[in-house]
Amino acid sequence: MTAPGTLEVRGLAFAYPDGRQALFGVDLTVAAGERVAILGPNGAGKTTFVLHLNGTLGGGAGRVTVDGLTVGKPTLKEVRRRVCIVFQDPDDQLFMPTVRDDVAFGPVNLGLRGAELDDRVNRALALTGMSGAADRAPHHLSFGQRRRVAASTVLSMDPTILVLDEPSSNLDPVARREFADIVRSLGLTTLIVTHDLLYALQLCPRSVIMNAGRIVADGPTAEILRDADLLAANRLELPFGFVMPQVG
Amino acid sequence: MGGGHGHSHVLFVHVNSGVHRLAPECKVVATVLFVLAVVATPRAAFWAFGLDAAALIAVALVARVPLLGWGRRCLIEVPFLMFAVFLPFLGTAPTIEVGPLTLSEPGLWGAWNIAVKGTLGVAASALLTATTTVPDLLRALERLRVPRPLVAIATFMIRYGEVLSADLARMRIARISRGDDPRWIWQVRALARTAGALFVRAYERGERVYVAMLARGYGFGSDVPVLERAPGRSWATALTLPVAAGLVCAAAVVVAA
């Protein structure tokens, strides 16, 4: 029995129906409780990769295993409960009339009802500090609040692996830091898809670089960010004026 | 991107009255039955419509909905009444002379019929939306076993109407800041392109929303909605209005016969 929160990807390849190949044999192993950043330029295949983790995309070569379950049709329901994705645009994720309804959407699909459902919803909202907004309409919240609610909508499914797609985009500095604090406090296995290198450094001890549908580097985040040539070769760069402290 | 902090329920009047507290599905059913009773009332029974209006006003008073604001909302029916205005001029004989005008009598009756029944119907709906929030209305539809895809479509329309209009506003600003000034009909091209782009964006957003729904287990859930039954008292209270209108209608039919 594997510990909850383990992910194993072997030889994952995928081409879109129009023939464009997005993934060329991706291998990745993530241990329970690890936080890993998936870095890479636009169009590297990061989002395509992420959509394989819960079986939204599939049908190519390779295998994804979540907590020992191979992702496939028979395991789809359980995999989608375990692997939860917070998408980049909260407006894509929040579609119900109130925050409470939206946070309840996943657990209702899992068959929860009544007091158990209410309890899940309240706990998930408390985890992101959004309990006060339960009865508000999602489109009347600020962007930072909407991202936190979006996280609640998946935390209510009691996941073992959390996937965040560009979690820092469009957030002001304080909202960025608050969201990072929330992610850290959860203690879940977390994959963070981003090209915000400093956010990766802040949140993830380990990073992988994905480019042109392959994983081209895997190591401690600080080490990867110190390798200027590696970053340049993959269209990544640190913000202007920022220099990684050298190990002394 | 600042988050809007607008009013959460545009049409809802924030008062805690007995009418507001009624179960939403009871109010929906009561409104529909009331409208049916009004439509069934013979058009010549002027007093009957007076009684119906009085009953509605009584409900509005109990609900503490400001009468002036309520009346103003009913103005949305004005464009529809325009049609009724033409009837007395276009109708058939016999005609009557009103000052310099020759008006058709059946046309006048037709116009009166549309105007009075339409106004009562719109007033009843406006009262429903003033005392029930949009999420509650959607929940009511679900509990009344309206097919779930229809409820879902209504939910999405309400949710994404705002997102799309924000999209449209941003695209308009982007156009204007590049020198577009669509004041004349031959400048409509850019506008048409915007509409096209908006359509594509809406379509793509639909796909992203669907993926996000799948990611949260959509399609695996049992399709049995959470059905809570409204208390009998709520039904009894809400149905007094349509029952009153029904009695008025029955009386009018008897009188007419």
Parent domain of B252: 18-140+230-256
Tell me whether residue B257 is exposed, middle or buried, using C-beta atoms within 10 angstroms of its C-beta: 0 to 12, 13 to 18, 19 or more. Answer: exposed
Shortest distance, CA A55 to any CA of chain B (angstroms): 8
pLDDT value, residue B1: 34
Contact A111 B222 (CB under 8 A): yes
Contact B217 A110 (CB under 8 A): yes
pLDDT value, residue A43: 86
Q: Are B250 and B257 in contact (CB under 8 A)?
A: no
> Do residues B209 and B242 both lie within one domain?
no
A-chain residues near B134 (CB < 8 A):
97
Rounded to the nearest 10°, the torsion over CA B25, B29, B35, B39 is 160
Q: Is B189 within the bounds of a domain?
A: yes
* pLDDT tens per residue across span A214-245: 999 999 999 999 999 999 999 999 999 888 88
User: What's the rounded Cα separation, in Å, for the pair A165 and A87?
Assistant: 5
Mutate to test the interface with A, among B216, B220, B222 (most CBs of A within 10 A): B216
Nearest residue to B215 via CA among A195, A131, A188, A150 = A150
Picking from A92, A108, A141, the nearest residue to B212 by CB comes out as A92
The number of beta carbons lying within 10 Å of the beta carbon of residue B208 is 15
Number of domains chain B is built from: 2
B-chain residues near A96 (CB < 8 A):
155, 159
Cα dist from A124 to A167, B17, B44, whole Å = 18, 32, 60
Nearest residue to A47 via CA among B204, B190, B29, B211 = B211
> Do residues B251 and B211 both lie within one domain?
no
> Do residues B200 and B251 both lie within one domain?
no
> Do residues B80 and B167 both lie within one domain?
no
B-chain residues near A138 (CB < 8 A):
159
Contact B3 A146 (CB under 8 A): yes
pLDDT value, residue A194: 92
Please tell me the number of Cα atoms within 13 Å of B241 on its side-chain side: 32
Q: Is B183 within the bounds of a domain?
A: yes
Residues in chain B with pLDDT < 70?
1-10, 179-184, 186-187, 221-227
- Chain B interface includes A89 (CB < 8 A): yes
Q: Is B129 within the bounds of a domain?
A: yes
- Chain B interface includes A74 (CB < 8 A): no
Chain B stretch 184-243, residues whose beta carbon is closer than 8 A to a beta carbon of chain A: 205, 208-209, 211-222, 226
Give chain B's largest Cα–Cα span. Answer: 70
> Do residues B52 and B111 both lie within one domain?
yes
**Helix residue ranges, H only, chain B:** 18-21, 24-40, 46-63, 67-73, 78-90, 105-131, 134-143, 148-176, 188-215, 232-256
A-chain residues near B213 (CB < 8 A):
95, 105
Collapsed DSSP state (helix, strand, coil) of residue A39: strand
> Do residues B32 and B106 both lie within one domain?
yes
Q: Is B114 within the bounds of a domain?
A: yes
Q: Is B13 within the bounds of a domain?
A: no
> Do residues B61 and B186 both lie within one domain?
no
Tokens of B139: 């929940």
pLDDT tens per residue, chain A (248 residues)? 578 999 999 999 999 988 899 999 999 999 999 999 999 998 899 989 999 998 888 888 999 999 999 999 899 889 989 999 998 888 888 888 889 988 998 888 888 888 999 999 999 999 999 999 999 988 889 999 999 999 999 999 999 999 999 999 989 999 999 999 999 999 999 999 998 999 999 999 999 999 999 999 999 999 999 999 999 999 999 999 888 887 65
Rounded to the nearest 10°, the torsion over CA A166, A167, A168, A174 is 180
**Sequence spans of domains, chain A:** 7-92+159-233
> Do residues B85 and B179 both lie within one domain?
no
Nearest residue to A48 via CA among A180, A178, A233, A193 = A193
Picking from B4, B163, B217, the nearest residue to A157 by CB comes out as B217
B177: Cβ–Cβ under 8 A, 6 or more apart, which residues? none
> Do residues B196 and B248 both lie within one domain?
no
pLDDT value, residue B222: 56
> Do residues B93 and B107 both lie within one domain?
yes
> Do residues B244 and B206 both lie within one domain?
no
> Do residues B121 and B46 both lie within one domain?
yes
**Helix, strand, coil percentages for chain A (3-state, nearest 5):** 40, 25, 35
* pLDDT tens per residue across span A2-36: 789 999 999 999 999 888 999 999 999 999 999 99
Shortest distance, CA B165 to any CA of chain A (angstroms): 12
Query: Which backbone phi and psi does A9 adopt, to 5 degrees?
Result: -120, 130
Decide if the complex's ipTM is over 0.90. Answer: no
Collapsed DSSP state (helix, strand, coil) of residue A32: coil
| Percentage above 70 pLDDT, chain A | 99
Picking from B160, B162, B216, the nearest residue to A105 by CB comes out as B216
- Any idea which fold A7-92+159-233 has? Rossmann fold (3.40.50)
pLDDT value, residue B3: 36
